[in-house]
């Protein structure tokens, strides 16, 4: 079988570089082009030194992009939506967007968390949300089902905090175990790479080092994704705090169970949702240091570890999830979704297990 040719648009950023790393190790993909306006003509390893000796690719200017089987758009938020008509013809089989541009299905949902209206509201709802655990059936065979006629399958990568929150709460919402009259409070702690490669005062070392800074106590844009994917459950309120890590997300979501629901019901729901999942692990250890999910041991991996704890006296359940924001939170779940779309084994190219210590 001929390899599937992939190009990465905006490959000099963290998300694009991480997808490139995964694609170079994938048995069924061949990386054709990687683009960067700033670094056009320079070797990839100048920007991504971990790829030194792995590839001799050089960055191309995006205006020199050639068609490929799969085009991965790793542009800043808004970058694809503003030029989507130019880039769609560059994808023969699949257009995979890693930004937030096409995650939401409606203009109303987008407008609730963005100051400006979406530039292409007609395309909202035409991208499959790339959360394999919730949308495996829709993702499977997207490339084959795109129907030709120059219309590639379209995938929208999910947000990292949204992915962790959704996977933490999904079993409880799917089985109707939560009291929908009582809101959920989700607290997310996140490493600095989630802010992207753009330099700002907030990312300046004297400001970031040692930080435990709540930068979005209310109004985080990922809240719209969470509401979309957990429709039918309680309202989820999200707060996000920057911590002194480069990678990683840890979400603790505080919810309340319906009357009569106990620990056995909660455990059974998590097992039914995730026992067969290749990249979601239920953490229920009674001994050792890592008895609840911890992003530190997930660096570089596509795993999401989930867990829960109950406060029997109040009916409060704390649903937890940890992941690497650049892998399972961005490039890894996108690769997992692309595998499904192309008919590859879902785990292809995603075998790294993380590090300890």
The set of catalytic residues is 160
Token pair listed for 34: 């990687």
DSSP characters over 166-212: HHHHHHHHHTT-B-TTS-EEEEEEE-GGGG-S---GGGSHHHHTT-E
Cα 354 to the center of its chain, rounded Å: 17
Instruction: Identify the three-state secondary structure at position 145.
Output: helix
Q: Which of 145, 342, 161 is nearest to 241 (CA)?
A: 161
Contacts of 133 (CB under 8 A, 6+ apart): 167, 170, 273, 274, 277, 280
Beta bridge partners of 70: 6, 94
Contacts of 55 (CB under 8 A, 6+ apart): 24, 31, 44, 45
Cα 80 to the center of its chain, rounded Å: 17
In total, the chain counts a number of residues equal to 357
Phi first, then psi: give them for residue 151, nearest 5 degrees. -110, 100
CA 71 to CA 93: how far, in whole Å? 8
Contact in structure between 277 and 133 (CB atoms under 8 Å):
yes
Token pair listed for 297: 């041991």
């Amino acid at each position: 079988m001929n390899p599937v040719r992939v190009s990465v648009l905006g490959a000099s950023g963290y998300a694009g570089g991480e997808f490139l790393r995964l694609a170079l190790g994938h048995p069924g993909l061949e990386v054709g082009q990687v683009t960067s306006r700033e670094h056009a003509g320079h070797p990839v390893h100048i920007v991504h030194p971990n790829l030194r000796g792995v590839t001799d690719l050089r960055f191309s200017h995006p205006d020199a992009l050639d068609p490929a089987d799969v085009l991965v758009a790793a542009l800043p938020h808004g970058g694809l939506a503003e030029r989507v008509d130019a880039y769609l013809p560059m994808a023969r089989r699949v257009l995979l967007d890693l930004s937030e541009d096409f995650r939401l299905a409606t203009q109303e949902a987008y407008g609730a968390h963005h100051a400006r209206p979406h530039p292409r509201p007609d395309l909202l709802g035409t991208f499959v949300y790339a959360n394999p655990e919730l949308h495996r059936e829709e993702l499977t065979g997207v490339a084959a089902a795109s129907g030709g006629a120059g219309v590639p399958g379209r995938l929208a990568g999910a947000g990292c905090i949204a992915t962790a929150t959704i996977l933490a709460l999904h079993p409880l919402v799917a089985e109707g175990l939560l009291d929908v009259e009582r809101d959920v409070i989700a607290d997310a702690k996140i490493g600095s790479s989630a802010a992207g490669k753009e330099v700002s005062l907030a990312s300046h070392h004297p400001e970031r080092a040692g930080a435990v800074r709540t930068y979005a106590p209310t109004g985080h844009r990922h809240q719209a994704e969470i509401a979309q994917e957990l429709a039918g459950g309680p309202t989820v309120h999200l707060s996000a705090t920057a911590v002194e890590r480069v990678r990683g997300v840890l979400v603790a979501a505080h919810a309340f169970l319906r009357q009569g629901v106990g620990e056995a019901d909660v455990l059974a729901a998590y097992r039914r949702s995730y026992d067969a999942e290749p990249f979601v692990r239920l953490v229920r250890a009674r001994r050792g240091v890592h008895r609840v999910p911890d992003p530190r041991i997930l660096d570089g991996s596509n795993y999401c570890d989930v867990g829960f704890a109950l406060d029997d006296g109040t009916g409060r359940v704390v649903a937890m999830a940890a992941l690497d924001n650049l892998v399972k939170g961005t490039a890894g779940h996108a690769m997992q979704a692309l595998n499904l779309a192309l008919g590859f084994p879902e785990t292809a190219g995603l075998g790294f297990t993380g590090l300890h210590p």
